[in-house]
């Protein structure tokens, strides 16, 4: 016995177990076949409890059979639910699973029953063969790579070797129950690790019906439907121990404790992640997510350093900004009267009122920004290419090579099997399988596409509403801030109408984004379920594309407006452009004389920072507050009273789409730091700080707040890889257009190298502003109580047009066309340079490292060789056994095949 020491105790428990087993066998009534809650009625049950002081265990009452899965329910006297449970438990036992029930009287709330499930060796072997689970058959003799030079430098960041490598390296092969002697089976109880065991049991639970033999109702199948209709409250595998305390030696490993100690605590933020232990405990799918997140964070470090250098350059070149000095100069900027920025409410204004915003714009709009935009185009390529190599190495180390073809694409979702009643012969497997008719598939796809378009249209409508808000409220801010009768002049020096409008509009837009996200998440899941994808991989890919398309429009549309539309269709004082034509009185927004880049920076900072802050609050603070009482109760309850299944039952459930939202959050962040990074070089730094926190918050949630997820496999990050590639290509285009049309870099360069007489920026501000005759301004555009000097007959506006009195009055001048040509040339050159470098880097860096290719080929060769030798030896043993059998008697086989082989080699007399 494992759980109770002492000979007398063992004898007592064995006798009690035998009595209970015979009692259950004879009794087929009650709460289902095999229910052991009647154990409480047996003589000596109280004595057994005294002999078993610790209920914080992962074993059945006998201390031998491991609990592979737990189902919990509250018996509310509903006869239909009771009938479903009895039928489900009976069908589970028919598959070979062993059940044991904990009565509600033994639980803390005196309401909850717990059904513990154990998969014996025969069941595990059968379904491991069905699922083609790879298991070890020989210890690997392929040497590992050599030590990295200067390894001592990374020693402070490393974890103990037993944590980084919790198991030996083996050659593996898909399990075959007819070849058990081929594999390294030292102990059948521990041959399949807990993660594999719970994966097999969940596979059975998801496909087990809960109708009786006399009925054939296909929809009454699977644990998911039983959870949705309230028959069971929860279904989960158990954690191996408490996260703050090691398990006892006879209870197995303490992997959860090790993960918490070396990974989940925030003080370990500078340490490497124990990916092999994560993979072993949670499965490959969760392991590959943390591997990607860790690699992404590592690569962000280089982008953050370069962005910080570019921002530092902007700060250090602060005093050399001649354009801002001219704007702030009382004799230059103070003498330039600007035309009103809106109708009626906006007065004429002096250029030097935008002094502060011009200095702020210079911090992000300088020569270093061009270099940083090019650098990020190359960085994103290096990130994606190096991740492919890291991913290929993990695929080999974790036995994921060719995994999808063998398992994920061939495993049909239970929902698909239930809802699709028509069947046909699979051309590949030649077996009958369910299928969705083409007409039904087209109808479902059409409805799904229409729903997606409807919601995207709703987003566009909200963005148009925010733009209308910006246009309407700008006049109000202009009249308030500029009104000399109001006592806010101190604020007006630092907050311009453009800045006030931009900040408030960005905050409103962020709130709208969060509200739309809440509703669309439910809609996306609903329409994906309605399409009835065939496999889990297909389901995740469809949901991924829908959610990302929506999030892309939702998060980035406002940034695209500020970057590429605001200030581009304004017109000029004699012919202003209006939103939705002349039907409205909302005049299109103009950019600040310092450019629209600072407003794009403001929009990006508010939306990106707000999203990250809200995400961290949702992921860390809310779960901490919600589960504080449960954790506290678990710590202060004696182990013999608070069982392992009760501790895990109060934790949060980790849904099948749990990782989906984690990926989505990071990919949206990736879009922010690549698509618009030219406007805010510090974006990678903010993302780096967020991700350092994100890794530990996610680790803390997995180890302390979530039930143990069902282990599942994945060889890569799925559809997210293609999305990242698309965002990387689009980022080159967006940053080139931002530098050309949103930034003032190109106009300044044209003036410096073409128009300036002394090759300096003196006179640039005057050159970038056109002149308009005030007497020609239409009355509807004039301020109601406008102010301008009597001696001033003209006002200035941001454009490149001919002055009044010119032969082509108010038409674009030659400087405009020179600048436009320079912008187009810059876009073409930058895109081609970055794309050429990207493709060259992608060509130079192979997706799979050469040593990994060699190891894969070597391992495949050795596997074939070992398998061939095994088959040859097996045939020899069978032949020798048939020769040694007496005529007319049954064949007998020697247990030791090596001993039999040696006997066969002896001469036969």
Q: pLDDT, tens digit, for every residue of 623-647?
A: 666 555 555 544 555 555 678 899 9
Beta-strand runs (E) in 553-700: 571-572, 575-576
183: CB partners within 8 A, 6+ apart: 135, 136, 137, 173, 175, 191
**What average pLDDT does this structure show over 860-878?**
85
What average pLDDT does the structure give for the chain?
80
Let me know how many helices (H) and strands (E) the chain has, helices first: 31, 14
Report pLDDT digits (tens) over 751-779: 988 888 888 888 888 888 999 998 888 88
- Tell me the pLDDT band of 866, cut-offs 50, 70 and 90: confident
Tell me if 720 sits within 8 A of 322, measured CB to CB: no
Q: Is the pLDDT of residue 141 over 90?
A: no
CB 89 within 8 A of CB 32: yes
What are the tens digits of pLDDT across the range 244-267? 888 877 666 789 999 999 999 988
Least confident of 607-616, 809-818, 851-860, 886-895: 886-895
- Which of 438-452, 516-530, 857-871, 892-906 bottoms out in mean pLDDT, i.e. has the lowest? 892-906
Q: Is it the case that residue 909 has pLDDT exceeding 50?
A: no
Take residue 502 and report the two structure tokens written for it.
């931009």
Relative to beta strand 134-139, strand 170-174 is antiparallel
- Rounded to whole angstroms, how far apart are CA atoms 533 and 535? 6
Cα torsion 725, 726, 731, 734 to 10°: value is 170
Given a cut of 70, is residue 145 above it in pLDDT?
no
8 A C-beta contact, residue 756 and residue 762: yes
Tens of pLDDT, residues 681-730 = 999 999 999 999 999 999 999 999 899 999 988 888 988 999 999 999 99
User: Is-contact 594 354, C-beta < 8 A?
Assistant: yes
Percent of the chain clearing pLDDT 70 (strictly above): 81
Helix (H) or strand (E) holding 903: helix 897-904
User: How does strand 349-350 pair with strand 112-118?
Assistant: unpaired
Q: Which of 222-236, 413-427, 524-538, 626-640 has the lowest mean pLDDT?
A: 626-640
Supply the pLDDT for residue 590: 80
**Prediction pTM value:** 0.84
Residue whose token pair is 């201390």:
63
119 CB neighbour count, 10 Å cutoff:
24
**170 token code pair:** 């083996």
Each residue's pLDDT tens digit, 370-394: 899 889 989 999 999 999 999 999 9
Judged on CB neighbours under 10 Å (0-12, 13-18, 19+), 580 is exposed
Q: What is the DSSP string of 666-709?
A: HHHHHHHHHHSGGG-TTHHHHHHHHHHHHHHHHHHIIIIIBPPP
The CA-atom distances, in angstroms, between 119 and each of 6, 275, 285, 688 are 28, 27, 23, 44
Lowest mean pLDDT among 106-110, 491-495, 608-612: 491-495
Q: ∠ at Cα 437 (433, 441), nearest 5°?
A: 120
731 vs 471 pLDDT, higher one: 731
**What ranges do the domains of the chain cover?**
56-133+175-238, 278-630+644-711+731-750+827-847
Distances in Å between the Cα of 32 and the Cα atoms of 26, 46, 67, 89 are 13, 24, 19, 6
Model confidence pLDDT, tens digit, residues 46-74: 444 444 446 788 999 888 899 999 999 99
pLDDT at 899 over 60: no
Looking at residue 417, its pLDDT comes to 73
pLDDT at 322: 87
Mean pLDDT, residues 543-570: 87
pLDDT score, position 598: 83
Sign of the four-CA dihedral 753, 756, 758, 759: negative
pLDDT at 653 over 50: yes
């Amino acid at each position: 016995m494992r759980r109770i020491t002492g000979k007398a105790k063992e004898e007592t428990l064995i006798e009690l177990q035998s009595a209970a087993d015979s009692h259950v066998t004879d009794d087929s009534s009650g709460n289902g076949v095999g229910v052991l809650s009647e154990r409480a009625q047996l003589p000596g049950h109280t004595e057994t409890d005294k002999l078993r002081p610790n209920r914080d265990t992962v074993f059945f009452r006998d201390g031998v059979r491991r609990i592979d899965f737990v189902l919990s329910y509250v018996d509310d006297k509903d006869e239909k639910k009771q009938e479903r449970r009895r039928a489900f438990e009976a069908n589970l036992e028919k598959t070979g699973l062993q059940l044991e029930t904990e009565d509600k009287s033994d639980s803390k709330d005196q309401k909850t029953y717990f059904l513990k499930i154990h998969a014996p060796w025969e069941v595990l072997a059968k379904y491991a063969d069905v699922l083609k689970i790879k298991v070890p058959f020989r210890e690997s003799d392929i040497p590992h790579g050599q030590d990295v030079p200067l390894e001592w430098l990374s020693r402070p960041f490393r974890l103990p070797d037993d944590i980084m490598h919790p198991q030996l390296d083996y050659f593996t092969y898909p399990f075959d129950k007819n070849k058990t002697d081929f594999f390294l089976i030292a102990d059948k109880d521990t041959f399949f690790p807990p993660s594999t065991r719970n994966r097999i049991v969940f596979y059975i639970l998801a496909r087990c019906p809960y109708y009786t033999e006399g009925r054939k109702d296909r929809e009454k199948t699977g644990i998911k439907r039983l959870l949705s209709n309230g028959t069971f409250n929860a279904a989960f595998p158990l954690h191996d121990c408490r996260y703050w305390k090691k398990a006892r030696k006879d209870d197995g490993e303490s992997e959860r404790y090790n993960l918490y100690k070396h990974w989940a605590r925030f003080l370990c933020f500078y340490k490497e992640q124990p990916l092999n232990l994560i993979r072993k405990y949670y499965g490959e799918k969760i392991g590959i997510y943390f591997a990607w997140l860790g690699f992404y964070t590592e690569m962000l470090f280089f982008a953050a350093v370069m962005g910080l250098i570019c921002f530092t350059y902007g700060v250090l070149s602060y005093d050399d900004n001649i354009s801002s000095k001219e704007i702030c100069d009382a004799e230059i900027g103070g003498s330039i009267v600007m035309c009103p920025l809106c109708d009626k409410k906006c007065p004429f204004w002096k250029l030097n009122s935008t002094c502060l915003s011009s200095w702020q714009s210079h911090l992000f709009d300088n020569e270093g920004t061009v270099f940083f935009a090019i650098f990020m185009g190359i960085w994103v390529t290096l990130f994606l290419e190096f991740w492919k190599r890291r991913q290929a190495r993990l695929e080999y180390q974790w036995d994921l090579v060719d995994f999808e073809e063998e398992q994920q694409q061939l495993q049909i979702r239970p929902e698909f099997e239930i809802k699709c009643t028509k069947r046909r012969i699979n051309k590949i497997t030649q077996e009958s399988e369910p299928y969705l008719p083409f007409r039904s598939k087209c109808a479902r796809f059409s409805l799904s596409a229409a729903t997606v378009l409807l919601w995207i249209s709703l987003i566009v409508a909200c963005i148009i509403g925010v733009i209308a808000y910006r246009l309407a409220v700008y006049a109000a801010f202009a009249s308030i801030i500029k009104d000399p009768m109001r006592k806010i002049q101190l604020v007006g020096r630092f907050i311009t109408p453009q800045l006030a409008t931009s900040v408030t509009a960005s905050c409103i837009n962020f709130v709208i984004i969060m509200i739309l996200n809440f509703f669309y998440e439910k809609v996306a899941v609903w329409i994906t379920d309605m399409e009835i994808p065939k496999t889990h991989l297909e389901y995740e890919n469809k949901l991924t594309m829908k959610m990302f398309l929506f999030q892309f429009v939702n998060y980035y549309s406002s940034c695209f407006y500020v970057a590429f539309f605001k200030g581009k269709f304004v017109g000029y004082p004699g012919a202003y452009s209006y939103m939705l034509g002349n039907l409205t009185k909302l005049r299109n927004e103009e950019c600040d004389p310092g450019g629209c880049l600072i407003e794009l920076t403001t929009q990006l900072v508010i939306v990106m920072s707000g999203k990250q802050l809200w995400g961290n609050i949702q992921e860390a603070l809310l779960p901490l507050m919600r589960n504080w009482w449960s954790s506290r109760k678990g710590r202060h309850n004696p182990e013999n009273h608070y069982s392992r299944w009760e501790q895990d039952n109060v934790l949060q459930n980790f849904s099948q789409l749990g990782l989906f939202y984690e990926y989505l959050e990071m990919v949206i962040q990736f879009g922010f730091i690549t698509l618009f990074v030219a406007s805010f070089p510090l974006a990678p730094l903010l993302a780096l700080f967020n991700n350092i926190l994100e890794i530990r918050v996610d680790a803390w949630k997995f180890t302390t707040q979530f039930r143990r997820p069902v282990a599942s496999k994945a060889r890569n990050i799925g559809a997210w890889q293609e999305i990242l590639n698309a965002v990387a290509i689009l980022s080159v285009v967006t940053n080139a257009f931002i530098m050309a049309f949103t930034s003032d870099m190109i106009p300044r360069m044209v003036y410096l190298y073409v128009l300036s007489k002394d090759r300096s920026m003196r006179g640039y501000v005057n050159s970038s502003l056109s002149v308009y005759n005030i007497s020609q301004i239409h009355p509807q555009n004039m301020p109601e109580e406008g102010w301008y000097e009597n001696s001033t007959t003209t006002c200035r506006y941001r454009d490149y047009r001919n002055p009044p009195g010119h032969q082509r009055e108010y038409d674009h001048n030659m400087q405009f066309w020179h600048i436009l040509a320079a912008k187009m040339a810059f876009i073409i050159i930058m895109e081609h340079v970055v794309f050429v470098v990207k493709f060259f880097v992608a060509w130079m860096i192979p997706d799979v490292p050469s040593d990994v290719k060699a190891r894969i080929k070597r391992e495949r060769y050795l596997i074939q060789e070992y398998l061939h030798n095994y088959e040859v030896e097996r045939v020899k043993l069978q032949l020798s056994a048939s020769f040694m059998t007496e005529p007319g008697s049954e064949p007998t086989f020697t247990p030791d095949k090596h001993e039999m082989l040696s006997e066969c080699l002896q001469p036969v007399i």
